[in-house]
């Protein structure tokens, strides 16, 4: 994996959290705001659809972010960026898939297969 990703349980907030490098900072917002602890589901499906060449482009809108998936790079856009703030980041689509899979694994480890 290209990026140093840390997924951990926060005792104060009683939930899983994720740390990602600054260059892909919005991936954390996507995971924590839109995917949450339900798992990557449709988000990962969209990535897989493009990587398997079933589609050349997929776009999913969540509560906080929009994910625009292309084969090589995915653009994550934060819907609520204020003026002067960076509103998007780019992440390699293959790497994003790995991050989603790590997140799903952390959820499975926390809740077991019943979630």
pTM: 0.93
Q: What is the pLDDT of residues 79-107, one digit of tens each?
A: 999 999 889 999 999 999 999 999 999 99
- Mind giving me the DSSP string for 85-103? S--EEEEEHHHHHHHHHHH
98: Cβ–Cβ under 8 A, 6 or more apart, which residues?
Answer: 1
CA-to-CA dists, residue 11 to 4, 20, 114, angstroms: 22, 19, 22
Q: Which H, E and C letters describe 26-40, residue by residue?
A: HHHHHHHHHHHHHCC
Q: What is the pLDDT of residues 7-49, one digit of tens each?
A: 999 999 899 999 999 999 999 999 999 999 999 999 999 999 9
Confidence (pLDDT) at 114: 47
């Amino acid at each position: 994996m290209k990026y140093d990703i840390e997924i951990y349980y926060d005792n104060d907030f009683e939930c899983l959290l994720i740390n990602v490098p600054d260059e892909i900072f919005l991936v954390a917002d996507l995971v924590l705001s839109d995917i949450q602890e339900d798992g990557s589901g449709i988000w990962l499906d969209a990535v897989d659809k493009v990587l398997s060449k079933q589609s050349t482009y997929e776009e999913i809108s969540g509560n906080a972010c929009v994910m625009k998936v292309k084969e090589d790079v995915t653009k994550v856009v934060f819907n609520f960026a204020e003026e002067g703030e960076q509103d998007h980041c780019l992440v390699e689509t293959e790497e994003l898939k790995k991050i989603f899979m790590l997140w799903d694994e952390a959820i499975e480890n926390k809740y077991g297969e019943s979630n």
